[in-house]
Chain A
Amino acid sequence: MSIEQREARQPWILLTPALTAVLLLLIVPLMFIVVYSFWLKSAAGADTPGFFLDNWQETLTDPFYRDILLNTLKIAAITTIVCGLLGYPAAYFIARSKGNKAVLLVLLMLPFWISYIIRTMSWINILGVSGALNAAMLWLGVIDEPIQMLYNETTVILGLTHFLLPFMVLNIFVSLDGIDTNLEDAASSLGATRWQGFLQVTLPLSLPGLAAGGLLCFVLAAGTYITPVILGGPRDAMFANLVYEAIIRQLDWPLGSALSLLLLAVLGVLVLIYNRYLGMAQLAKGLG
């Protein structure tokens, strides 16, 4: 074997463990789900193997699934916008702080040490009828009776924002931290106010981080299942809840497979659009 041939093979040899893991843990299970989506659920007992389009027809034509999907995308979009609005100032503060940046970053990561479910359930103790907020308002005389604040779409968005905000902050921080502060000084020396300097220099340069954080928040929010279960009311379901119900409650694995693939396809298209215009490198930076 020539040196050139050996050098050409080396990257593939190094990549083999990762590719094997992706193949066995992602591609193969995904193929199972694809195959399952063409099967049929039997009234009782084992599913009927075969190539049936019934599940796909139902998934793609039933307005029920379309409406829940659109509502899921709406909730994910609102959550992403809220995370962006709250996350940018926090990330800017961390990026521009001197000396205590590491401490602030550790504080930002602290919530990850607690289970996501516990963090979500903590809102019940804050916003519940007997929760901290109602108790405080009653004590202060602001209200005479506890206010019902839980179990609606707003609390679902609140719970998602709580969960996803650190992802947004981290991505924006990575972007802001990489911007040379001399550029802002240069803008000032050319007569720009601090606000103009931010709007015309810092913000445009940090947009890739904002977009990467937005993509992460959106994809994670759109695929969430537990937040609506804990903080939502009877009607507050997202698409992942339908997948859960089809597979777990109705034991309809074929339909659940088709639904999960539809969600995967929709989110996959969004990732492709992101990649087309911004590239995946920024996302990798944020995750790193």
Chain B
Amino acid sequence: MDDTTRYERLRERFQNGDISRRSFFGLLGAAGAAYGLQMPFARQAFAQGDVSQVRFDGWGGVVSEAFRKFAFDPYTEKTGITVVDGTFPGGDEYLALVRASQPGEYNIAHLSGVFDYARYHSFDLNSELNLDNIPNMANVMPALMNAFKSITPDSLSAAPYNYGTTGLAYNRKHISDEEMKEKGAKILIDEKYKGKIGGWSDWRTRMWYAALQTGQDPNDIKDTDAAWDAVRKHRDVALKYWASGAELMSLMAEEEIYVTEGWSGRIHALQEQGHDIGYYDPPKSFGWQECLFVIKGSPMAACEELINFMLDKETSIAVAEGQSYPPALDPTKVDLGEKIPKLPAFDATGTLSGLTFANPAYWNGNEAEWSKEFGRVQRGY
């Protein structure tokens, strides 16, 4: 029996004179107190019972619009379960929110990078998916699955969903394709474009590109001093660190900046809107994969059903076309249509061997030191 029916029955008893006014209000007060004082695990227990909604958090903007239009609304229509979608500007901000929440408050997150998967695991926020309930997982590229299995060999907490790169976005009115290819990542520290350069305020991306600018392997930076000097140089020539995909698109569209590193899907969306913006993945460009991560304490059956629905070929392709990121579906098994193979970062082999992903152990091992150091460097130190 739900709370509304329970209340209506109580009110009816009061109106029929079966209970006194004092008892009626006393019971209402007791119910309120019980609700307020329920133990933290009560919410979790309820989460496994009747489920009327699932919370999904993602990156906002065109990505969320694609999810809403092609996945959530059809899913709600089919199952009757509402998908409440929230947004976050970055994975760090979202992890802070989840850490401060009650189990069951946040359910599925569109997380980026295998390092995020590892971080959630280290904070004991991982769940255990029953893959029997997600038959569409069979169409997912093994290369994407293996990255997660290296962290949790016996189970999975997430389903890979899409992938992309953080490459170089540039305004073709001011920077030619030839110049971009010639300068590569070093264009972000080129004095010629001082005051017209942008960059994501994310320490990983800054260090990744600093490694490329100093000719180092991003997954094995030997000369960190040189890398930090490159970060400083970028800071000195940059106009603005952008903090969200929407801000990235605004800065490029308004021509506040001419060049920045950017997310492949967002830049493709800008191109689709008619802006003359080029996108170039330099050698060892920052590749990443995104997943649908189910957070501990969530209603598993409903989450698994939603994930299976989202991995369905038709849904997955529609979302991929909407958000401009290639889906996790194996192109050697599934016909992805005509539009997806033209998306930036698309890998037709299904092996993703052409992309360089962040090594989770390496990057998570340096997180504490480098994230703090970047906080100082970006302030002029």
Q: Which residues of A contact B (CB under 8 A)?
A: 41, 43-46, 64, 68, 124, 128-130, 148, 150-151, 229, 233-235, 237, 242, 245-252
The residue that B96 contacts in the complex, of A229, A233, A248, with Cβ under 8 A, is: A248
Q: Is the CB of B240 within 8 A of A249?
A: no
Give the residues in chain A near B243, CB-CB below 8 Å. 229
* Measured CA separation A150–B257 after assembly (Å): 12
List 14 contacting pairs A-B, 8 Å CB cutoff, sorted by A: A43-B368, A44-B119, A45-B122, A45-B124, A130-B255, A130-B256, A234-B238, A234-B378, A237-B379, A242-B375, A248-B93, A249-B90, A249-B92, A250-B375
Q: Is the CB of B95 within 8 A of A251?
A: yes
Q: Is B6 an interface residue (CB 8 A)?
A: no
Closest-CB distance, B70 to chain A (whole angstroms) = 29
Closest-CB distance, A92 to chain B (whole angstroms) = 39
Given A148-B195, A248-B96 in contact, is the A129-B254 Cβ separation under 8 Å? yes
* Measured CA separation A248–B123 after assembly (Å): 15
> Chain B 98-132 against A: per-residue CB contact (8 Å), 1 yes, 0 no?
01000000000000000000010011100000000
Q: Is B216 an interface residue (CB 8 A)?
A: no
Q: Is B381 an interface residue (CB 8 A)?
A: yes
Residue of A nearest to B240 (CB): A151
* Measured CA separation A252–B372 after assembly (Å): 9
Q: Is the CB of B379 within 8 A of A247?
A: no
The residue that A245 contacts in the complex, of B123, B235, B365, B375, with Cβ under 8 A, is: B375
Residue of A nearest to B365 (CB): A43
* Measured CA separation A248–B100 after assembly (Å): 11
Q: Is B14 an interface residue (CB 8 A)?
A: no
Extra pairs beyond A64-B381, A251-B92 (7, CB < 8 Å): A45-B123, A129-B255, A130-B256, A249-B90, A250-B372, A250-B375, A251-B99
Q: Is the CB of A235 within 8 A of B124?
A: no
Find residues 242-279 in chain B having any chain A CB closer than 8 Å to their own CB. 243, 250, 254-256
Give the residues in chain B near A128, CB-CB below 8 Å. 254, 256
Give the residues in chain B near A233, CB-CB below 8 Å. 238-240
Q: Is the CB of B372 within 8 A of A234?
A: no
Give the residues in chain A near B95, CB-CB below 8 Å. 251
Find residues 212-242 in chain B having any chain A CB closer than 8 Å to their own CB. 235, 238-241
* Measured CA separation A150–B99 after assembly (Å): 35
Q: Is B364 an interface residue (CB 8 A)?
A: yes
Give the residues in chain A near B371, CB-CB below 8 Å. 249-250
* Measured CA separation A112–B361 after assembly (Å): 48
Residue of B nearest to A146 (CB): B255
Judged by DSSP, the binding face of A is loop
Give the residues in chain A near B368, CB-CB below 8 Å. 41, 43, 250, 252
Give the residues in chain A near B195, CB-CB below 8 Å. 148
Q: Is the CB of A235 within 8 A of B235?
A: yes
* Measured CA separation A130–B275 after assembly (Å): 14
* Measured CA separation A63–B325 after assembly (Å): 44
Closest-CB distance, A237 to chain B (whole angstroms) = 5
The residue that B239 contacts in the complex, of A151, A237, A249, with Cβ under 8 A, is: A151
Q: Is the CB of B239 within 8 A of A68?
A: no
Give the residues in chain B near A124, CB-CB below 8 Å. 250, 254
Give the residues in chain A near B250, CB-CB below 8 Å. 124
* Measured CA separation A77–B239 after assembly (Å): 25
* Measured CA separation A64–B254 after assembly (Å): 34
* Measured CA separation A237–B378 after assembly (Å): 9
* Measured CA separation A217–B375 after assembly (Å): 27
* Measured CA separation A266–B104 after assembly (Å): 38
Q: Is B380 an interface residue (CB 8 A)?
A: yes
Closest-CB distance, A147 to chain B (whole angstroms) = 11
Give the residues in chain A near B254, CB-CB below 8 Å. 124, 128-130
| A-B interface, 5 closest residue pairs, ranked by CB to CB distance from nearest | A44-B122, A250-B371, A248-B96, A45-B122, A249-B92
Give the residues in chain B near A41, CB-CB below 8 Å. 368
> Chain B 334-372 against A: per-residue CB contact (8 Å), 1 yes, 0 no?
000000000000000000000000000000110110011
Residue of A nearest to B91 (CB): A249
Q: Is the CB of B92 within 8 A of A234?
A: no
* Measured CA separation A153–B160 after assembly (Å): 42
Closest-CB distance, B201 to chain A (whole angstroms) = 8
Residue of B nearest to A71 (CB): B379
Give the residues in chain B near A43, CB-CB below 8 Å. 365, 367-368
Residue of B nearest to A235 (CB): B380
Q: Is B376 an interface residue (CB 8 A)?
A: yes
Looking at A41, A229, A233, A234, which has the most chain B CB atoms within 10 Å of its CB? A234
* Measured CA separation A242–B256 after assembly (Å): 26
Given A248-B93, A250-B368 in contact, is the A129-B256 Cβ separation under 8 Å? yes
Looking at A229, A251, A252, which has the most chain B CB atoms within 10 Å of its CB? A251
Give the residues in chain B near A44, CB-CB below 8 Å. 119, 122-123, 364, 367
* Measured CA separation A251–B120 after assembly (Å): 12
Give the residues in chain A near B203, CB-CB below 8 Å. 249
Closest-CB distance, A53 to chain B (whole angstroms) = 18
Give the residues in chain B near A64, CB-CB below 8 Å. 376, 379, 381
Give the residues in chain B near A248, CB-CB below 8 Å. 92-93, 96
Residue of B nearest to A237 (CB): B379
Q: Is the CB of A148 within 8 A of B239?
A: yes
* Measured CA separation A274–B32 after assembly (Å): 43
Give the residues in chain B near A250, CB-CB below 8 Å. 92, 368, 371-372, 375
Closest-CB distance, A35 to chain B (whole angstroms) = 15
Find residues 121-165 in chain B having any chain A CB closer than 8 Å to their own CB. 122-124
Find residues 80-96 in chain B having any chain A CB closer than 8 Å to their own CB. 90, 92-93, 95-96
Q: Is the CB of A235 within 8 A of B379?
A: yes
